Structure 1
């Protein structure tokens, strides 16, 4: 659907986008219209719909080089060049499809720990991930959150409240369902790796 007006103003969207796309606020300020791209019907699995929609948006960008960016599900903004490049992998096998077009992973600090929270995962599984750790480095934390994100996108909400996840008994991560204080009360998978310490 063609809309001859800018998308509604959302300063938090462009603030998040600016962490990886510094020009995003300027691009948003100068755009004059947008297209809404959506699947019809409600029976498609979220991943199938995301793959198809991502490929279609990539095709539209190729046909309309004046396109300046993409806002995914109203939560994540990406530059059009990046979208065009990554959308070529829309139908790649797990885990190589372009899930980073669909969600942000944002780092934070809290009470001497570091953390990362997703924005956009709830479109697929109804919750975001909020992971805090005092053990991992930031790159390792981002890798864990990305790995869990793509697993959930692929398999759906298979992690239940109180489950533990991890590659081994010494790498168990406790998962609780709660509402995020960081994301204004949105439902999250609250993850911590303190669980392994309590077993030793």
Structure 2
């Protein structure tokens, strides 16, 4: 399981964020979060490693400006185009990026994800060159979606912006359809692979998304061999296995129809 997250904010051209404007944007968008430039760095929040440091509550957020594109990852951008057709174009055109991370690990992964999401949303609100965000090397989303959903960073369960952290990708099976997640491993050590020959696609995605949120909130509470669901006619079986299709540890879920 991940012990910390790293986000990459893709830029049309390299820029260094205005940390004063960033702190003001975080306070404006999330007034419940005490935010200031870290006085332990310099008077403009510049760390000795070239990163800029923001204090949010008792946590430090580092923002580093990198004057180069991120490494190529065709799989990442292929997944992104499922819901975002322009993803490959944005990836090809960006010329710089910002690294965003939390210093220290004295909070839960969900708390860290919420905090980083809030700061990234404020970055996008103040840096016009932002074009996309890559979350923890697994999920790529357009900047405008981040700007919108990041306002829900501290919303209560189940309304926090998990689609920025976890992809839910449909696929066809021999007997029906399925959906697999990408990004959930960081929270609970496994992805979800759900297969059905009975449910329509929208219902399948709704079930997988609901399970994603539940696991992020409660941790790895599903055990190998468990069942869950609304009633006796909708029980979903769970097995721990290595996915035959995707080669990674998954909660393999079936509803008795596949």
Superposition TM-score tier, normalisation by shorter sequence: over 0.9
Alignment of 1:15-26 (within 5 A): 15-26=78-89
Q: Which has the higher contact order (CA 8 A, sep 6+)?
A: 2
Unaligned 5+ segments in structure 1 are: none
Q: Which residue of 2 aligns with 1:190?
A: 252
Task: Tell me the secondary structure at the aligned position of residue 39 of structure 1.
Answer: strand
Q: Which residue of 2 aligns with 1:89?
A: 152
Higher gyration radius (CA): 2
1:164 aligns with 2:164: no
Q: Report the Cα offset of residue 50 of structure 1.
A: 0.6
Q: Which residue of 1 aligns with 2:176?
A: 113
Q: TM-score, normalised by structure 1?
A: 0.94
Q: Deviations over 1:13-42 (max 9, x none)?
A: 000101111111011001111111111222
* Higher share of residues assigned strand: 2
* Residue in structure 2 matched with residue 128 of structure 1 by the alignment: 191
Give the SS at the match of 2:168. strand
Structure (1 or 2) with the greater helix fraction: 1
**Aligned equivalents of 1:45, 1:180: Cα separation in 2:** 28
2:142 equivalent to 1:79: yes
Q: What's the CA shift for 1:63?
A: 1.1
Structure 2: gaps spanning 5 or more residues:
1-63
What is the CA RMSD across the aligned residues, in angstroms? 1.2
Structure 2 counterpart of 1:5, from 43, 50, 68: 68
Equivalent residue pairs, number: 195
